[in-house]
Structures are given as structure tokens and as C-alpha cells.
Structure 1
Amino acid sequence: MRSRVLIFAAVFMFMVTGCGKGNTEKVTAADSVTIENDTAADKSLEVTKDSDGKFSCTYDGVHHEFIMDMPEVTEQAPLVIMLHGSGNTAEDFRSMTHFEQAAVPRGYGVVYVTGAQDPNDRTAPVGWNSGIGADGNDDVGFLKALAEYLAQEYSFDKERTYAVGFSNGAFMTHRLAAQASGTFRSVVSVAGMMPESIWAKRNDLSPCGIFQITGEKDDVVPKNSDGSAKFSKAPAIEDVMAHWVQVNGLAMTDKTLVGKGSQLTKYSADGRREQVWVLDVKDGRHSWGDEKITGIDTNSLILDFLDTQ
């Protein structure tokens, strides 16, 4: 059974209707809901349930797939949307992180989503339009529409909808923090950076919680600490996080060593929901992080951050 979500400009309505026949399970939703949308053209999200926990969907003519891991109760449960790295899929990312094994017992819904190819380069790997290129798929619009669909279908808590990404998926979380903080209240970037085009508009940012995890020896993320930012158009990750601290109106409240010598710094303020955490992983590289090597349970630490949001 398919559910269609029609996305119009901000003043229009978002409608979900069941239609068609087939061997897929029927999906129901509220009749209508108002949705914020920053695109001018009419777009639609069509979702098909392929098998238990697996779905396919189309947004603006672009095909995606996603996998859902659900807590026993979804009503007002927090939701985490997981964004893979370049060239991977939702299935790959689930197998790599097993984030759902830590998150679902803590009451979180987890949705792994597969990106798409750049429409202007059919030789490009599957991934996310994080803003590095000038054009590309409307992934901000897609992920906002998907989050809205999931909230309507399963009654997830809109105030606790988060995005977690790795590498290219983490680049995308920086874009979501900048351009979709009304939908994604906090994001987690593992081995991610903020693209130059997003940084150029940093003075337009609204408060958003963010947790940045960076390997000390990551050769992709520009850093002041190793001088790599001097050779990158993208900003140093230290400068990005310092700016988020300023935007959120925070101050450093804790700095401690975790695992095998990694440094975790936390920024918060009384009365402010949006915290900033920064983890510098000692000897870490461009990876999700292996507890046997780092002494850090990355999944649990991410959930500890999200619990504060």
C-alpha cells in the first residue's frame, strides 16, 4: 500500500492519503497537517512498504529506500534518522554501526535512509547533497518530508527528531542543522565537516544542538590542530563548533578524558536546550570508531547526548 505526501510552499497543506492495491501492508495517517517547506515547486513523497521494516520511497522523482527499527511504543518516542557515508546504503550503515541495538531499548525509533546519485553525474556514488556542489538533489526537502511522514504515521515526537550521520552523511547533518533546525532539533556528525557554501551563510544560523566526533588523525575533516584547514576551502571544524557555541549562547561546562585518552568537551547554559558536545578521538581516523581501539562506545555516547536534547 502506498501513502502519498504532497509538499507545497510553506502556506499550503501537507496531505497523506492511502491508495492503490497490492500485497504491501496498509499505512494510515492523519488527514492533513501544516508543514514548513522552503521549496517553491510542488513536490511529493510516495512511500511503499516493501517488507517488514523495509520501505522504498520517491521524492521529487528521486528514489530512496529506508529501514525502520521501532521501539515497543512509538507515540511521542524520539526519532533518529541515520545518514550513511558516500557510496553506502541504509543496509550498509545499519550493519556497520548497529545503532538500533543501543537506541531501541532506550525508547528511540531508528530509521536508516539510502541517499541517491547526483542527478548531474550518473557516475557519482550514492550519497547526500550536503552543499559541497552547486546543484543536486533536494535532500533537505526530502529529509524534512520523510521526518514529517514518520511523525504522522507513527506519532514520533516532532520535538525530539534528530539526524545522525557519518562522513558524507555527517556533512549532510551540518547542512540540516543550518537549514532544517525546525525539523531536526539536534544533529550528530561523526567524521563530518561543514561545507564551504553552508559556512558562508553562518550568520543566518538558528540554535541547534550538535555533537561533533572527530578523529585526531582524520585526513578528510579540516582541522586547525593539524594544520589541514590551511589547505581546505571548508572551514576548520574547531571554528565551526566555536560558532555553534556562540549561536546557541553556551559556555564550556565540562572537559574530561574518555576512553583511551580522547577529550570530550561539553557546552551548555541554564535554560537552553541546544547543547554542543565535541569529542576529539585520540589517534582516531576517518571512521565511526571501534570501542576495542578507542575505549569509547560511540553509540551509547551519541544517545547520552541526544538524551539531553
Structure 2
Amino acid sequence: MKKTAFLFLAAIVLSGCGQKKAEKLRLEGISCTGENRFSCTFDGVKHDFIVDMPDNTKNSPLVVLLHGYGDSAEGFRNGIHFEEKANPLGYAVVYVTGASSARDNTSASGWNSPAAPNDNKDTEFLTALAEYLQKEYSLDKDRTYAAGFSNGACMMHTLAKKADGTYSAFACAAGYMQPNIWDKRKGSDVSFFQLTGENDDFVPKESDGTAENNPAPSIEKVIEYRKSSINADTSDSCEVGNGSVLSKYENSETHRQVWELTVKDGGHSWYSEKYNGFDATELILDFFETQK
């Protein structure tokens, strides 16, 4: 009996010794393709990224920006020029291009979509990219943030769940939480800023009935989840722009915050001073500034 038990234990030990720990994926083939422009591969998938750095990068905060479906780092940068207001404040900024679906290489560039939430390893890639930039430019590891628009905004909720050890605050402009993230939600001690247009049908809302037949959770439920996750105990609200309402919730001990902006008559866009009476970039930077 003892001999049998010994042999069984030995088999388990030998089996464990034969198993190699999965090697952490890293960025590969990083090359400069132009001024501040780079390309790399991750898990065999090619990505481009553009870096805009302040004069001094040591201990600078980092903002990673994700475009909407079908766009690119170059197109997103040309559309919002986040770096023009972020760099003078000391922020490092990187625009990143997504990839076609691994299941359909004819599809446009994007991020893990509701249709294929477990497609490319976007979370792992964006984690590896942030860690690479932190080391390469001596950035502040405790102040690594992400912001996205539309499909890139949806990715904010994914990163908040799966990469909260790397990213500590997120801004989601015109995006929603994917059902697979909602169904597996847990406490999430991160700061989060949600910007939603009243007339944006892309984001499911109880206020206009668009959440009724949508498998994704309503943005109202998501905000309640975010508030409860940080145990918010203070709140404040104010009007910005052309009648938009900005609500702020905070945990007075940890200083984690949840901001919610409901954009008056807002559609599916990166909100601007010209059309909405405020600049989304400025508000997002205001939000990140509170994380210091």
C-alpha cells in the first residue's frame, strides 16, 4: 500500500516537473517607421503606434489612446490631437492601431468586439505595450491611463477588468460594456470616466429604451456598478457646455473616482467645443489630473 502511494506521488511530481510555465508574450520586431512612429508584432499580430512625449519623460504619466472600429492610430491622432493639450501638462501619449479579427483577416482594424470578445489578445498586448513604454521612457508606473472612442471605448471596460494591475484609470467616450465582461464582473478598484451622448444609439440606455433588446447592460447599470465598486460616499454634479451634466462620485478614503457625463443632444462622437460647448480632451485630462 505504501509502495503504491509512493509511486503515485512520484508520478505527480514528475508530471509537474515536465510542465513548463507559460512564457509571457512580449512585443517583438519593434521598428521605427517614421518620426515618433513605430510598428511591432504581438502574438504574431502587427500593430502600429505613435508616441508623443513631453520634454521630460521621467516619471511622466502615460495615456494610451484607442481608436474606433475601422480607424487607425494616425487617423485618431489627426482627429483629436490629444497630445497638443496633454504634452504641455507633462503627459506621455501613445496612439495605437488595432488589428483585423483573427477569424476574418478582411475585417477592419479594431479591438476585441462584442461579436468576438476572445479574438486577438488585445488585453495582453496593451499591457505589454504599456510596460514597454514605462521602461523605455522611464514613465510613472502608477499613473498609466487609457482612453478610447467607440470600439476603443468598449475596450476600456475590458481593460478595467483584466488589466487593472497595469492601468489605474480609464475614460470611455461613446462606448459600452460588453456582455461577457458584465456577466463576469467583480469588484473593480479603478477610477472610470464614462462620456455618453443622449442621442447615441450605440450605447444602450434605459433613458431612451435602447437597452431593452440589447444583450449589453444599460449604461445606467454600468455606472451603478462602477460607483459600488469603489464604495463611493460623496457625489457632486454640475452643468458643462450646452446643458450637459457632469456627475462625480468619489471614495473619500481611497480617492478613487467615477465620473459620468451625459452629453445634451450628443451623438456618437468625440465631443468638441464647437458642437457641444466643451472639449472631451480637456475634461478627460481634468479627470486624469485628479488621480495624482
TM-score by length of 1: 0.85
Percent identity of the aligned residues? 51
Are the equivalent residues in 2 in contact too, given 1:132–1:195 (CA < 8 A)?
no
1:289 aligned onto 2:234? no
Q: Give the whole-Å Cα distance in 1 for the aligned partners of 2:221 and 2:137.
A: 38
Change (3 A) 1:135 1:289: same
Q: 1:131, 1:198 within 8 Å by CA — same for their partners in 2?
A: no
Amino acid at match of 1:210: F
- Asked whether the 8 Å contact 1:115–1:126 carries over to 2, the reply is yes
Residue pair 2:32, 2:39 contacting (<8 A) in 1 also: yes
Q: Structure 1 residue 59 and structure 2 residue 42: aligned?
A: yes
Give the match for residue 148 of structure 1. Answer: 131
Among residues 211, 219, 227, which one is paired with 1:237 in the alignment?
Answer: 219
Shift of 1:122: 1.8
CA apart distance, 1:149: 0.2
Amino acid at match of 2:84: Q
In structure 1, what residue type is equivalent to 2:105? R
Runs of 4 or more consecutive aligned structure 1 residues displaced over 6 Å after TM superposition: none
2:197 corresponds, among 207, 215, 218, to 215
- Residues 1:250 and 2:232 are matched in the alignment: yes
Compare the two structures and name the one with the higher strand fraction. Answer: 1
Following TM superposition, by how much is the alpha carbon of 1:228 offset from its aligned partner in structure 2, in angstroms? 0.6
Letter in 2 for 1:249: N
* Matched residue, 1:167: 150
1:277 correspondence with 2:250 = no
Residue 123 of structure 1 aligns with which residue?
Answer: 106
Cα deviation code 1:104-129 (max 9, x no counterpart): 01110000000000010123210001
Which residue pairs with 1:263 in the alignment? 245
Q: 2:268 is paired with a residue of what secondary structure?
A: coil
Q: Does 2:67 align with 1:87?
A: no
Mark the runs of 5 or more structure 1 residues left unpaired by the alignment.
Answer: 1-38
Deviation sequence 1:73-129 (CA, Å, 0-9, x none)? 111000000000000000000011111111001110000000000010123210001
Q: Secondary structure at the match of 1:243?
A: helix
Q: For the structure 1 residues 134 and 153, does the alpha-carbon distance in structure 2 shift closer, same or farther, using more than 3 Å as the test? A: closer
What's the CA shift string for 1:169-225, capped at 9, x where partnerless? 0000110011111111000000010000000011x2321110000000001000011
Give the alignment's Cα RMSD to 1 decimal. Answer: 1.3
Deviation at 1:131, TM superposition (A): 5.3
What amino acid does structure 1 have at the position aligned with 2:145? Y
* Contact 2:188-2:226 within 8 A present in 1 as well: no
- How far apart, CA to CA, are the structure 2 residues paired with 1:157 and 1:57? 23
TM-score normalised over the length of structure 2: 0.90
2:204/2:217 contact within 8 Å kept: yes
Identify the residue that residue 106 of structure 1 maps to in structure 2.
Answer: 89
Q: How many residues align?
A: 270
* Bigger-Rg structure (1/2): 2
Q: 1:130·1:175 contact (CA, 8 Å) conserved in 2?
A: no
Q: What is the CA-CA distance between 1:52 and the residue it aligns to?
A: 2.1
- The CA deviation at 1:51 is 2.3
